[in-house]
A and B are shown apart, each in its own frame.
Chain A
Amino acid sequence: MMNADETSSISVAGLSKSYGPEGSLRALDDFTLEFPAGQCTVLLGPSGCGKTTVLRSIAGLITPDQGRITIGPSTAFDASAGIFAPPEKRRLGMVFQSYALWPHLSVAENIGYPLAASGLPKAEIRGRTETMLEWVGLSGMGGRYVHELSGGQQQRVSLARAIVGNPRAILFDEPLSNLDARLRERMRMELLALRQRTAFTSIYVTHDQLEAMTLGDRVVVMRSGRIEQVDTPQNVYKRPRTRFTADFMGIPNLIDGVVRTVAKDRIAVDTALGTLSVQSWRSDWKVGDHCTVAVRPTLITFASGEESEARTGRVVRSVFLGTSTVHEIDISGTAITLESFSEERHDDGATVAVKPAAGAIFALLDD
């Protein structure tokens, strides 16, 4: 099946790409990153952040303006040396958002296509295609045509086609965005199982933070053609470095504060929510600095009025979401979102007391 020693690291250095007249639109700005062998690197960001440009540059589907791309031992692209290996020479596999399955070929012919392209004998193609079909749970469906398959099955065929030729790395271009929510959930778990079975180099582009958390060994948050943060999924989730990352990772509460005390790696910040214990990536904070703290709605709780660290506010509205209830609360002019998993309800306009969750450490943003 997947041959682990075929898998290669990819390195990208100084990649830039502009579009439009006179290169007015900068899609990628001096992008440099190592993609270690056997790991899954997730490129995460909103549309237009350049994540797809990185992926398609590595695939050889677009030619960057500047920079170098090395796949395993060979240079696939080098602007200054004038090297450009066409996509068919790069030995990669790719899973497309649109599946990109060929409607005029059967499922088996779709999967066996990369093998046929490399000129393998028919018997071997048939054998390996059969193994692949079994492996993605589509045994006996090789003779069908693509339109006879469900969306999830099509995505599996697409995955099998990307893997069958023992590529040096597999590129995923938002592979789950076209599926409905339940199927997306299931395919995410299947991809995770696949990752755990075999270590292969993969680059996964998505705008869905859940996919990034589940599948990434590393998450690269991108913004307007540049890297915003590279980190483990846990750190990107818990310790966003910037406002942009915090916002993109779904933290609505970016609260202004003033640094109160600075210890070694613990800083205390005065905010509308009281004094918060925070961690920062920056080390040059001084007492009295103005700053911003990212506060997850789940890390604030309701308090009884007597507790000293509690702050009172007015409920603007509360929205019942099923497993949780989201409250918008106004604390002396600062809007705070609080997510509570208890059944307790508060009428709009009611006065409530809130406090940070016990022991919570918040992320102090760089900017």
Chain B
Amino acid sequence: MTASSRAAAAGPQVGRRSLGWEHALFSTIAAAAVVMVSYPVLLVFLRSVSTEDIGSPLTLEWLQALADSGRSREALVNTAIYTVGSSTLAMVLGVGLSFLSTRTDIPGSRLLGLMAVLPILVPPFILVVGWVALADPNAGLINIAASAVLGGRTVAVNINTMAGLIWMTGLFLTPYVYLLVSAGFRNSDPAMEEAARVCGASRLRLLMTVILPVQRPALLAALLLVVIMSAGDFIIPSTVGLKARIYMLPSLIWQNSSSFPTRPGLAAAQSLVLVVIGLVCIYFQRRALGRGGRYTLLGGKGAGASLFPLGPLRYPLAAIALVFTLCSSVLPILSVSAMAFMRFWAPYAMKPENLTLRNFRYMLFEYPQVWPSAQHSLLLGTLGATLCILLAITLAWYVIRMQGRFSRLVEYAMVIPLGVPGIALGVGILSLWILVPGGIYGTLWILLLAYVTAHIPVAIQFVSSAIHRIHTDLEDASRISGRSLLGTLRRINLPLMRPALIGAWLLIYVVILREISLVILLYNPNTIVLSVGLMDVWGSGFYPELAVYSLLLMVLGLIPVMLLFRFAKFSAE
């Protein structure tokens, strides 16, 4: 009996599980985390109704400006078109690919499934640079090929259009849809479908009345996810989008915050629009997923799920599916790689004598920003992912196992960052820390804080499902055997959760490395990170160097993934 547990048990509510100082520690951390994820939203709102920094007199000037300015209205319309277009494309491709690869007799279905998720490992800027290399109206490889075939100067495809932006974003979002939907298709209980067939339903009827309706929660969740991701997407609107003079909210927020004359109030008002869209979507997505539980839990092993025969369409459909998956991974990587070896990049430069390694030498050894920013990125990626996981373990434990008084609140609050686009989160975090003299503003710590805030929901999802898979008896047995709560966490829970923790760590590390929108407003020249440096190189307009830079980013992201995969395999044996 320790003094502290006695004190805790003597509190007003003896009926609750009284755990002493451990409980107090976990609750304190949970409370801090709730503050961490919720103040940016609050501050985005406050900043958009303040004349100057938070604390100055309130005003409706910025919200008025949002409604009045032609640029803002234009951006709103563009964002809407862009969101609808790329979400539609991603849904069609993602659902189509997942259905083809899991429920039909398409040849090479396993390869197709792999190819469909592969683009998750491909950073979005590879997609951007790759598709510029492929579909630039002047020097894009596709257009050069078209000109050669058709003669004259033929522009077959032009990436600098709304359609081009939608195309890239749609491809980028497709694997997320695939992941959310394919599991449901694969695990759907064959008995449900057999029952429908026995009742006399045709295959088409089966698809319309059983298979798709059962997946409705997953479909809805996927749709809302891609809507949030495309509405808040930063990199494509601020690179190709700005070049094509197609203004959208995230790129305007960036311009209003960083280009002279800065109008942070207007940027906050524009962020507020994104935050509202995001939080509404998240609300409905959570509801859909919550209801989804009762559907997906029905799932059997799925081993006997019947396959739809495609008949004569088998091979044509397989070819089309393969082309789409190539478009989002292999093709851009190849074209970026080709571009990286070019002395310069123009329609007439596509000749063997223009091949060079100079770009690599320059970017890797002479470009002054590259190594400091690489060091920052690796440090922040490693530290950020680790902190995220540790915090997620604490929070998930508080919510699932301690079931403390505020566990529902914590559970809901930790979803907020999913609905706040990176650029808006940046605005919120900036609005607070700019007020704190001698605080973390301008240091690497503010970047770390932003990364942890943004990625805590994903970490919690991984950790929670891992904790749920551990039978409480395993923990109870350890407690009775004489290990304290923290000892049990270390000896029993951590080892049992290791695969999930490694997976979550890698995912967060990779995403931190490629994250731009979150930190574009928070960094300064001393704390620059690799991904943000990409925007500078983009601005210089020298594409071969840009190609080398984005390859470097991709490789740095993939190295630990490969190392850890080997390690994980090794330790599993």
B6 contacts A83, C-beta separation under 8 Å: yes
Across the A-B interface, how many residue pairs have beta carbons closer than 8 Å?
A: 100
B10 contacts A61, C-beta separation under 8 Å: no
| A358 CA / B560 CA spacing, docked (Å) | 83
How far in angstroms is the closest Cβ of chain A from B17? Answer: 5
B1 contacts A65, C-beta separation under 8 Å: no
Interfacial residues of chain B within 465-485, with CB under 8 A of chain A in the complex: 471, 473-474, 476-485
- Whether B81 sits at the interface, judged by CB under 8 Å, is no
Of A23, A63, A93, A96, which contacts B17 at CB under 8 A?
A63
- Whether A10 sits at the interface, judged by CB under 8 Å, is no
A98-106, A192-200, A248-256, A286-294: which lies at the interface: A98-106
- Whether B19 sits at the interface, judged by CB under 8 Å, is yes
| A17 CA / B17 CA spacing, docked (Å) | 12
| A263 CA / B5 CA spacing, docked (Å) | 58
- Whether B16 sits at the interface, judged by CB under 8 Å, is yes
- Whether B495 sits at the interface, judged by CB under 8 Å, is yes
Of A74, A84, A90, which contacts B480 at CB under 8 A?
A90
B18 contacts A84, C-beta separation under 8 Å: yes
Contact A98 B481, CB 8 Å, known A65-B14, A83-B6, A104-B495: no
Interfacial residues of chain B within 5-50, with CB under 8 A of chain A in the complex: 5-11, 14-20
| A176 CA / B6 CA spacing, docked (Å) | 36
| A114 CA / B7 CA spacing, docked (Å) | 27
| A93 CA / B481 CA spacing, docked (Å) | 7
A100 contacts B474, C-beta separation under 8 Å: yes
A53-81 vs B, Cβ < 8 Å mask (1 yes, 0 no):
00000011111010000000011000101
Contact A59 B15, CB 8 Å, known A86-B5, A98-B471, A100-B471: no
| A180 CA / B502 CA spacing, docked (Å) | 38
Of A65, A86, A114, which contacts B19 at CB under 8 A?
A86
| Chain B residues within an 8 Å CB radius of A98 | 471, 473
- Whether A124 sits at the interface, judged by CB under 8 Å, is no
- Whether A161 sits at the interface, judged by CB under 8 Å, is yes
| Chain B residues within an 8 Å CB radius of A283 | none
| A93 CA / B480 CA spacing, docked (Å) | 6
Chain B contact patch, size range: 20 to 34
Chain A contact patch, size range: 35 or more
| Chain A residues within an 8 Å CB radius of B491 | 113
- Whether B220 sits at the interface, judged by CB under 8 Å, is no
- Whether B496 sits at the interface, judged by CB under 8 Å, is yes
Closest A residue to B16 using CB positions: A63
How far in angstroms is the closest Cβ of chain B from A201? Answer: 15
Closest B residue to A94 using CB positions: B480
| A89 CA / B471 CA spacing, docked (Å) | 22
Of A85, A91, A101, A117, which contacts B1 at CB under 8 A?
A85
How far in angstroms is the closest Cβ of chain B from A85? Answer: 5
Of B17, B474, B480, B484, which contacts A102 at CB under 8 A?
B474
| Chain B residues within an 8 Å CB radius of A79 | 14
How far in angstroms is the closest Cβ of chain A from B30? Answer: 20
- Whether B507 sits at the interface, judged by CB under 8 Å, is no
Of A23, A60, A93, A103, which contacts B15 at CB under 8 A?
A23
A100 contacts B473, C-beta separation under 8 Å: yes
Interfacial residues of chain B within 176-212, with CB under 8 A of chain A in the complex: none
- Whether B318 sits at the interface, judged by CB under 8 Å, is no
Where the two chains meet, the residues of B that have a C-beta atom closer than 8 Å to any C-beta of A are 1, 5-11, 14-20, 471, 473-474, 476-485, 487, 491-492, 495-496
Q: Show 14 A/B contacts (Cβ-Cβ < 8 Å), sorted by A.
A: A59-B480, A61-B479, A82-B10, A82-B14, A83-B1, A83-B6, A83-B9, A88-B480, A88-B484, A89-B1, A94-B480, A101-B477, A113-B481, A117-B481
